[in-house]
Amino acid sequence: MIKVLTAYTHELDDPEKAVQEILNQIDPKNSLLKNSVAMLFCHIDFIEMGVMEKICKSLPFDVVGCTSLYFATSVSAGASAPVESDIMLTVTALTSDDTEFAAGVCDPLTPENAEDRIHALYQKTASSLSGPPSLVFAFPPTLFHLTIDIMTAALDKACGGIPVFGTVALDIGAHIRSPRTIYQGAAYADSMVLLLFKGPVQPRFIFRRFPEGASIAQDAVITRANGAEIISINNEPAASFLREIGLIQSTFSQAIPLVIADSEGNNKEVVVVQKITEEGTLICGRHIPVGGILDIGAITADYVLESMKALIREVKKDEDKTRFLIVISCFLRTIVLGGATLEVGLLRQELGDFPGGYLYLNSGGELCPRYVRAGETANQALQYAVVACQL
């Protein structure tokens, strides 16, 4: 059994006050079992102001996590209702007598060394456990030159296919993008962080991805691509094509979802445009097939809310066995809604009598296994999705 202790702070100006708020809510001197670890998620401001580091150093166990943009959590002490904010730091401590935890961070990743360094990270982290792990939580960095699907594939290979759940570090706005992963109070721009579980943990995974038919068909083929770069569409610069159809105005300040099928029109995947170069090349969040057929993402606010309702309905089918729920929603979904408060409102409304607590945050990419047959999973990297793990 895993016991979950949750805490939060809004305090940015006084690190010592923030530390005390976290310690008062978790009460590590009296609440911990044999093995403990924590996940910390926060706005980038908590790193820049030194608050995150102080909190990590005050806790008597490993702390891993990453930056995000919106948070909602139930609190284990002193609160009658969940709290939520875009400027917040949350700590989710996991403690158990029969489950072991191990955490680690890798050396900086590049396209050339990613597979070797992710393999080394997994092996080193797993070596501190008494036996093979059964579950991985992963927090990859946001790297324009190394995409989530490549990092997920490398981790899947390294761990032998055991379930991998997690979120890509996020910090996005019109003028700043400084996502960071977190390990032991240090923040990293280009390193993956892992949390491994070994023991009788029985997670359940749920996801809702881009809906079939929710795209605007375009007479468009990707004629040149290089890895995660779309260089040309219909033999013209990719950015020029998007401007012609009105998807890009004078400036580009937010990510754009594309739906790309293979050359036969099958196997559709959501691909998020994260950056546009001066040459008009689109830098995307996953590798791009040359000859792929391009559609434009057309998720509506109604779909975002309905998919969250569907996810919650699935959660509640097994709620008696759930001690904690982690929900990760792509930040593009919140852009469609004009903010995360509507999604979080659904969680509050539908999980008001939920026997376990929950944590909600936005992501820059989602890692969530899919079920391929009874009890067996296959790891996958998603974009524009909402995912959940029941512990």
DSSP run (H or E) holding 84:
strand 83-85
Q: How far apart are CA 90 and CA 46, in angstroms?
A: 11
Count CA within 13 A, CB hemisphere, residue 380: 18
Q: Give yes or no: residues 151 and 283 share one domain.
A: no
- Whether 68 and 150 share a structural domain: yes
Decide: 306 and 347 in contact? Cβ < 8 Å.
no
Give how far Cα 101 sits from Cα of 123, 154, 201, Å: 14, 21, 11
pLDDT value for 79: 45
Q: 196 and 225 share a domain?
A: no
Rounded Cα distance between 11 and 52, Å, is 11
Q: What's the pLDDT score for residue 300? A: 79
- Are residue 247 and residue 370 in the same domain, yes or no? no
Show the domain range for 35. Answer: 2-208+304-390
For residue 69, how many C-alpha atoms fall within 13 Å in the half-sphere facing its CB? 24
- pLDDT recorded at residue 214: 58
Residue 78: predicted pLDDT = 43
Domain edge (last residue) among 246, 276, 297? 297
If asked whether residues 31 and 160 sit together in one domain, one would say: yes
pLDDT at 266: 80
CA separation, residue 296 to residues 12, 29, 186, 272, 274 (Å): 40, 53, 38, 10, 15
The length of the chain in residues reads 391
Residues 15 and 155 in one domain: yes
38-59 b/e with 16+ CB inside 10 Å = b?
A: bbbbbbbebbebebbbbbbebb
Q: Are 214 and 303 in contact (CB under 8 A)?
A: yes
Tokens of 88: 């917040």
Cβ–Cβ under 8 Å, residues 229 and 145: no
The tally of domains found in the chain comes to: 2
Residues 291, 309 within the same domain: no
From CA 274, how far away is CA 258, in angstroms rounded?
11
Angle subtended by helix axes 15-26 and 51-58, to nearest 10: 40
Q: What is the pLDDT along the chain (391 residues), one digit of tens a residue?
A: 899 999 999 999 999 999 999 999 999 999 999 999 999 999 999 999 999 999 999 999 999 999 998 999 876 544 446 799 999 999 999 999 999 999 999 999 999 999 999 999 999 999 999 999 999 999 999 998 899 999 999 999 999 999 999 999 998 765 557 899 999 999 999 999 999 999 999 999 999 987 655 566 677 899 999 999 999 999 999 989 888 877 776 555 567 778 888 888 788 888 888 888 888 899 988 888 899 888 776 677 888 899 999 999 998 887 676 679 999 999 888 888 888 999 999 988 888 767 778 999 999 999 999 999 877 999 999 988 999 999 9
Q: Taking the model in full, what pTM does it have?
A: 0.90
As separate numbers, helices (DSSP H) first and strands (DSSP E) second, the chain gives 10, 27
Last residue of a domain, one of 297, 324, 353: 297
Q: What are phi and psi of 136, to 5 degrees?
A: -125, 130
